Amino acid sequence: MLETTELQSAYRNPVVPQRADPWIYKHTDGLYYFTASVPEFDRIEIRRSASIRELETAQTRVVWRKRESGELSSHIWAPELHFIDGKWYIYFAAARSGANGEGLFDHRMYVLECDSDPMSGEWVEKGKIETAWESFSLDPTTFELRGIRYLVWAQRDPDIAGNSNLYIARMSNPWTIQQPQVMLTKPEYDWETIGFLVNEGPAVLKRNGRIFLTYSASATDHHYCLGILSAPEDADPMDPASWTKSPVPVFGTDESASQFGPGHNSFTVSEDGTQDLIVYHARNYKEIVGDPLYDPNRHTRVQPIQWNQDGTPNFGSPVPDSSK
């Protein structure tokens, strides 16, 4: 396993300052594509570069801006960029302005599509992802298994106390799910219920004959952390019994490294393709003035994943900021 000094030298952290809920995707063209929540929560940006280090200074394109009022007009959160069947898709959450505290916790999920170069082509709204309930929903991610595409997302069930649970459903196209939707996990452990009862921000990694599904839990301050579910790759992901949930968090605050509230991760690979990487945000201080949601200093960070002998990922601890 790499020592902390080696982890620090592998990638310069933060990778991109003031970008939360980061998503880094390495495409077949060898380039890295990046998107994340911006502090203003008012737009969706993408950028690309030949290396992860160059993402900080890469040219940025705004592909979509929030509406002035009504639907899609407030709190634009956690975009993800996917390439599916020759087209590009952005999954994100948006709220209505003027509703429930200026849109807070009134989110629904939406999809954008581009059938050409994502840095220059037209992005088209494909509409809202319709689920079983008209309720707070966010953080959609998608993966394919044995020729079937699935969506995993966070949503509030009106009959379950708490903010959000994780659900899975099959997809009929990249912006439409099929019912039934099935709950995979809800906040139940102490570390998932600090401040808010939250399971959100799912991310999928397929390795070593298994599917690993990470997610974020608790409030977005220093209590924010990652949990994980795992299932055999040949199992039915729609069956909750296929999944095993860790009773303890797998990635969290490290005060000795001045890294607080790491979470809302994604996965990518190193430039040479040999190393799996975890992408996440964290702050480098604990005390926050006001609502943590509006503190802009959740920075994008990257570090290598180590693998245990049993084939499970070992995320270790978030490494300290690099010296510039």
Which sequence positions are flagged as catalytic?
21, 200
- In angstroms, the Cα distances linking 109 to 92, 135, 136, 216, 228 are 6, 10, 9, 18, 23
- Tell me how far apart the alpha carbons of residues 146 and 127 are, in angstroms, rounded to a whole number: 27
